[in-house]
Structure 1
């Protein structure tokens, strides 16, 4: 009888392990992939006047002067069949030469739909997508890490289209107190990517849009 109890325990353990594995697989599975969104995007350099016209009178474009550059970006998608349900889209604009992001953005979108900054879960994006190593913090010196620049966090799947203007300031070497993307840049230097992150810090997928 002892061997029967041992066999039953082994079977129960296998069932539990299978159930946990199945739950993890389901939990990490996105409700839809990037192909369902039919994503469209563009990047271009603009003057302050052009940036302000693109954003509209309700929003203020960053002021640029003395070698600063303004990049106008547009990203649109088809509304997905399921809501983000606590997750969000992270929109990254990165200078591929340095893996740095801009610090200043202006966005034409409802304020409650789009936020600016960073989040700890985004440090794991590069583990899944090495080409997006600029999404997380960067090593500074030999012992520290610094999260330079910002990304846009979109918490509403109905927020499309998103129009933004990013400032790339022209700074002298002594003015660069913190790592951030600066002028001069060219459009081929820039990477634009959209990442879908789940409500429990899942990195669902990342889609390269430009660069």
Structure 2
């Protein structure tokens, strides 16, 4: 009897641990994507942020993601915003970002995000690129949002034009809007993948 109760307690704890505090519908998320010039990108970001430098055949994608205040604070969890080239599974390497709240948004990647594609196959590219049996390498960056009040969020992603893009591990130009997946993922404070919401693509 004690063993059964222990097993039930573990199952209940795992359910509670991985149960999201709320779903994406609670946020009423809206989003947009469009290509812009450097001047348009800088104007959209405002004076407090800098647009990535672009030259020649480089491309800049302006994105906006907004949400209403969630029913609960993030409390150590975070939102991860991904822009993934569905052809290569690569993400941009450079972003310019503007959002309410100083230090509310970071640019980077985290190993725990490898679990996202395991649960949501359409999010392939969210984590690292697998190399061999146990290795991996980064494939660009995503935006990490540590403050639920950082809405509306505006970003500019840089897609550099390179002669040998096959050697790169970041998303490169030329890219079409239809090639891109924009998604918002809610990660829990202990690395739980609460949910992923497709926004564009």
TM-score range, shorter chain: over 0.9
The 5 Å alignment of 1:138-177 reads 138-140=129-131, 144-173=135-164, 177=167
> What is the CA deviation profile of residues 141-192 of structure 1, one whole-angstrom value per residue up to 9, with x for unaligned ones?
898521110000000111111000000000111x765411000000000000
4+ residue runs over 6 A deviation: none
The 5 Å alignment of 1:18-29 reads 18-29=8-19
Is 1:203 matched with 2:196?
Answer: no
CA RMSD, 1 decimal: 1.6
CA 1:38–1:60: 2 relative to 1, 3 Å:
same
Among 95, 98, 101, the alignment partner of 2:88 is 98
Following the alignment from structure 2 to structure 1, what is the Cα–Cα distance between the partners of residues 118 and 131? 19
Give the C-alpha shift of residue 90 in structure 1.
0.4
> What is the CA deviation profile of residues 115-157 of structure 1, one whole-angstrom value per residue up to 9, with x for unaligned ones?
0101111011111000001101113589852111000000011
Query: What is the SS of the residue equivalent to 2:9?
Result: helix
When normalised by structure 1's length, the TM-score is: 0.91
Q: Which runs of 5 or more residues in structure 2 are unaligned?
A: none
Is 1:185 matched with 2:172?
Answer: no
Following the alignment from structure 2 to structure 1, what is the Cα–Cα distance between the partners of residues 132 and 173? 22
CA 1:46–1:141: 2 relative to 1, 3 Å:
farther
Corresponding residue for residue 130 of structure 1: 121
Query: What is the SS of the residue equivalent to 1:149?
Result: coil
Among 95, 108, 129, the alignment partner of 1:117 is 108
Following the alignment from structure 2 to structure 1, what is the Cα–Cα distance between the partners of residues 133 and 21? 40
Query: What is the SS of the residue equivalent to 1:135?
Result: coil
Following the alignment from structure 1 to structure 2, what is the Cα–Cα distance between the partners of residues 140 and 29? 32
Is the radius of gyration larger for structure 1 or structure 2? 1
Q: Which runs of 5 or more residues in structure 1 are unaligned?
A: 1-10
